[in-house]
């Protein structure tokens, strides 16, 4: 009883506000350091920094609404999103002007466009379909995107011959639009699941599996006696250190591995408790699991801070050749994104846990959400189709073959098949509601893998993206 009461208590909310505030302040601090390093005042980096501040502000306001239930926060959050979009547009325009081509040539530039599209679509969904709290899901994604951009190489690089094609721009524009639409359908499907009275503990399981997955991937870098491997950074050339083509050189940060292992155990705890309560068929353990999520967030924040402090500007021994090499956050953007993404996922869960009634009151009803999810996919699917076609046409002009079965192409085709499956099930089989929502969530998972996973895990022609 006492425990249940404590969870409703505003004091816990205050802790959350302080924690979120500190995390955001910390993220802004990293960004700020990068701005100071760049030197000039009115630049793309600063516009991007402004966008980050506004997006983070919007995200914080959405979360703040979640904690306090004050509806006026949402209006301000929407305003902050607008401001962020303006700054983001400035950054895109600046980039375009400086590079002389639309900003799609590198992962950095594509993230820039992706975040822009996501913010624009968020505002459209808010105005057009009255899905007011959609930013709670999309803004964290935007923030992670902008933070990643702060770390990735951002100087304008000349285009190698194969990339000088209008078809490439068409291809990537369509890809960004399609992926942003997929992201939106994911957010809407999640909201549908909330409105569809999906049990809160099921969300606990989902966010826990997500976080456990992240830390399991991170622990693949665990080395011997508690060390943690990160990619070495060549400060002069601003790039990773390569031993051979596509073989990166790793340095080992001592003891960081233990911390990651500890966090892994902490984030695995709620999942274990959930599974135990599922087997025992009672809810006694669930409040403990929720507590464990809270502790997990604290430990994840510690892991993030320690990771950033240890990685920044120090050099470590490499097990590959016994020499010391520096490393940098820019060499490990995906570990950082994973750490930040895990924290956000868990915070969203806490938001749901504490403010479910307010959310249910503010969201459109489940039928509407189901229909808008479907409509969003109706927009995403033709875009995906055209994206693949434009890519094939470009490949045909550049390499003499419209289809090479390289991993990125194959995964794009898989994404297309998954959404084609969704549409067929929906139109011919009348698939509605929860199954459809799970389908939409899974589809977005495939999109994310195509976008990030393929580039970093699988080899292929798409070396630039």
Residue 121 in tokens: 């679509």
CB atoms within 10 A of CB 262: 13
Task: Please state, in angstroms and rounded to a whole number, the distance separating the CA atoms of residues 47 and 421.
Answer: 41
Query: With respect to another protein, which residue has the nearer C-beta, 284 or 417?
Result: 417
Query: With respect to another protein, which residue has the nearer C-beta, 371 or 434?
Result: 371
Binding mask 81-110 toward another protein (x if CB under 8 A, else -) reads ------------------------------
Q: Identify which of 325, 269, 265, 332 has the alpha carbon closest to the alpha carbon of residue 304.
A: 332
- 169 forms part of the interface with another protein (CB under 8 A): no
Q: Which of 165, 200, 272, 315 binds another protein (CB under 8 A)?
A: 165
Q: Which of 10, 21, 158, 313 binds another protein (CB under 8 A)?
A: 158
Q: Which of 143, 230, 392, 447 binds another protein (CB under 8 A)?
A: 392
- 402 forms part of the interface with another protein (CB under 8 A): yes
- 393 forms part of the interface with another protein (CB under 8 A): yes
Binding mask 336-375 toward another protein (x if CB under 8 A, else -) reads -----------------------------------x----
Q: Which of 6, 153, 382, 438 binds another protein (CB under 8 A)?
A: 382
CA distances from 398 to 21, 173, 324, 411, 413 (A): 48, 18, 41, 20, 20
- 386 forms part of the interface with another protein (CB under 8 A): yes
CA distances from 97 to 104, 109, 169, 297 (A): 13, 13, 15, 41
Residue with tokens 């425990």: 3
Residue with tokens 């920094």: 49
**Residue 459 C-beta: closest distance to another protein, Å:** 8
Task: Please state, in angstroms and rounded to a whole number, the distance separating the CA atoms of residues 3 and 246.
Answer: 52
- 70 forms part of the interface with another protein (CB under 8 A): no
- 433 forms part of the interface with another protein (CB under 8 A): no
Whether the CA torsion 12, 345, 327, 22 is positive or negative: it is: negative
In eight-state DSSP terms, residue 327 is: B
Task: Please state, in angstroms and rounded to a whole number, the distance separating the CA atoms of residues 434 and 446.
Answer: 18
**Residue 161 C-beta: closest distance to another protein, Å:** 4
Spatial contact of 311 and 327, defined as CB atoms under 8 Å apart: yes
Q: Which of 398, 434, 445, 464 binds another protein (CB under 8 A)?
A: 398
Query: With respect to another protein, which residue has the nearer C-beta, 14 or 243?
Result: 243
Q: Which of 102, 326, 421, 445 binds another protein (CB under 8 A)?
A: 421
**Residue 448 C-beta: closest distance to another protein, Å:** 15
**Residue 39 C-beta: closest distance to another protein, Å:** 20
Spatial contact of 66 and 100, defined as CB atoms under 8 Å apart: no
**Strand intervals (E) in 278-408:** 315-317, 324-326
Query: With respect to another protein, which residue has the nearer C-beta, 162 or 298?
Result: 162
**Residue 80 C-beta: closest distance to another protein, Å:** 31
Which helix (H) or strand (E) covers residue 289, if one does?
A: helix 286-311
Binding mask 183-212 toward another protein (x if CB under 8 A, else -) reads ------------------------------
Q: Identify which of 268, 331, 335 has the alpha carbon closest to the alpha carbon of residue 307.
A: 335
With 0-12 / 13-18 / 19 or more C-beta atoms within 10 angstroms meaning exposed / middle / buried, residue 410 is middle
Window 438-457: residues binding another protein (CB under 8 A) = 454
Residue with tokens 């969704």: 422
Binding site residues, another protein, CB under 8 A? 157-162, 164-165, 167, 371, 378-379, 381-382, 385-386, 389, 392-394, 396-403, 405-407, 410-411, 413-414, 417-418, 420-421, 424-425, 427-429, 454, 458-459
């Amino acid at each position: 009883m006492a425990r249940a009461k404590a969870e409703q208590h505003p004091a816990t909310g205050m802790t959350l506000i302080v924690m979120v505030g500190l995390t955001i302040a910390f993220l802004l601090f990293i960004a700020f350091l990068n701005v100071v390093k760049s030197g000039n005042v009115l630049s793309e980096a600063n516009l991007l920094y402004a966008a980050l501040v506004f997006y983070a502000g919007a995200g914080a306001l959405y979360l703040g609404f979640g904690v306090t239930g004050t509806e006026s926060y949402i209006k301000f959050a929407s305003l902050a999103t607008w401001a962020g979009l303006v700054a983001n547009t400035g950054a895109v325009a600046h980039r375009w002007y400086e590079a002389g081509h639309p900003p799609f040539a590198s992962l950095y530039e594509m993230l820039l466009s992706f975040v822009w599209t996501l913010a624009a679509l968020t505002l459209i969904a808010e105005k057009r379909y009255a899905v007011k709290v959609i930013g709670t899901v999309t803004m964290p994604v935007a923030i992670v995107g902008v933070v990643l951009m702060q770390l990735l190489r951002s100087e304008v690089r000349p285009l190698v011959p194969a990339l000088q094609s209008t078809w490439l721009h068409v291809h990537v524009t369509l890809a960004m639009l399609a992926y942003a639409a997929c992201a939106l359908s994911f957010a809407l499907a999640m909201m549908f699941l909330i409105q569809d009275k999906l049990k809160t503990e099921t969300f606990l399981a989902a966010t826990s599996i997500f976080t456990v997955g992240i830390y399991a991937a991170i622990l693949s870098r665990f080395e011997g006696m508690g060390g943690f491997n990160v990619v070495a950074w060549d400060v002069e050339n601003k790039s990773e250190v390569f031993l051979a083509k596509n073989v990166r050189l790793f340095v080992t940060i001592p003891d960081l591995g233990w911390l990651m292992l500890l966090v892994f155990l902490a984030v695995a705890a709620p999942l274990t408790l959930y599974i135990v309560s599922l087997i025992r068929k009672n809810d006694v353990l669930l409040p403990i699991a929720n507590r464990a999520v809270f502790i997990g967030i604290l430990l994840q924040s510690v892991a993030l801070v320690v990771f950033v402090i240890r990685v920044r500007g120090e050099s470590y021994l490499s097990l590959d050749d016994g020499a010391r090499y520096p490393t940098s956050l820019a060499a490990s953007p995906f570990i950082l994104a994973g750490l930040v993404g895990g924290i956000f996922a868990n915070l969203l869960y806490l938001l749901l846990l504490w403010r479910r009634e307010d959310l249910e009151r503010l969201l459109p009803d489940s039928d509407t959400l189901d229909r808008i999810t479907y409509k969003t996919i109706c927009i995403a699917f033709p875009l995906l189709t055209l994206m693949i076609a434009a890519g094939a046409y470009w490949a045909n002009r550049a390499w003499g073959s419209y289809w090479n079965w390289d991993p990125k192409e194959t995964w794009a085709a898989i994404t297309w098949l998954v959404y084609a499956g969704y549409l067929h099930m929906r139109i011919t089989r009348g698939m509605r509601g929860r199954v459809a929502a799970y389908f939409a969530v899974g589809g977005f998972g495939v999109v994310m893998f195509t976008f990030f996973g393929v580039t970093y895990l699988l080899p292929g022609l798409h070396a630039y993206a």
